[in-house]
């Protein structure tokens, strides 16, 4: 899949199965980087590139507005591909959240643990669940 270069991208989140209307706290979540209607993520097949349509039930947890974001993403993947191969994927240890956190570090965002990052984004999920009456 080919994606055009853009300045805007987002970190997006969705339930691994279904959508947030069926989500319960504790269900697995999947996170990726969206740019130009393509979503880059790391799962048990390694780095995947999906169309945004496959993530239609996702929420934006962090908008990214960086010049040449697609070039940065391409460089990050080229430099780190060996770290995100299918054989490296460990569901609870090295997963899609690590892929996103490592990309954010690559862009110059502050270093944070997976737990810190999850705590930050789960407030967005809580807000969404409240709005759809799941609280």
Residue-level pLDDT at 5: 46
The reply to whether 38 falls in a domain is yes
CA 47, CA 43: separation in Å to the nearest integer? 6
Residue-level pLDDT at 20: 76
Closest by CA to 84, choosing from 39, 33, 41, is 41
Residue-level pLDDT at 77: 97
- Give the pLDDT mean for 26-44: 93
Is 37 buried (19+), middle (13-18) or exposed (0-12) by CB count in 10 A?
middle
pTM: 0.86
Residue-level pLDDT at 133: 59
The reply to whether 1 falls in a domain is no
Total number of domains in the chain: 1
Specify the DSSP class assigned to residue 84.
Answer: G
* Residues 80, 94 contacting (CB under 8 angstroms): no
pLDDT digits (tens, 9 = 90+) for 103-124: 999 999 999 888 888 888 777 6
Task: Pinpoint the alpha helices (H) of 1-113.
Answer: 69-80, 96-107
Does residue 6 carry a pLDDT above 60? no
The reply to whether 83 falls in a domain is yes
- Give the pLDDT mean for 47-55: 95
The reply to whether 84 falls in a domain is yes
The reply to whether 2 falls in a domain is no
- Give the pLDDT mean for 38-59: 94
Residue-level pLDDT at 66: 86
The reply to whether 88 falls in a domain is yes
Residue 82 domain boundaries: 8-20+27-131
pLDDT band at residue 1, thresholds of 50, 70 and 90?
very low
Helix (H, G, I), strand (E, B) or coil at 52: helix
Residue-level pLDDT at 67: 85
């Amino acid at each position: 899949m080919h994606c055009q270069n853009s300045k805007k991208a987002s970190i997006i989140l969705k339930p691994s199965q279904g959508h947030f209307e069926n989500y319960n706290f504790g269900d697995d979540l999947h996170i990726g980087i969206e740019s130009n209607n393509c979503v880059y993520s790391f799962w048990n097949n390694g780095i995947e590139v999906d169309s945004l349509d496959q993530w239609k039930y996702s929420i934006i947890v962090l908008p990214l507005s960086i010049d040449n974001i697609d070039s940065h993403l391409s460089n990050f993947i080229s430099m780190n591909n060996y770290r995100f191969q299918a054989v490296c994927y460990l569901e609870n240890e090295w997963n899609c959240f690590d892929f996103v956190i490592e990309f954010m570090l690559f862009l110059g965002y502050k270093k944070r643990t997976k737990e810190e990052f999850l705590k930050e984004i789960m407030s967005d999920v809580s807000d969404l669940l409240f709005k759809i009456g799941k609280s």
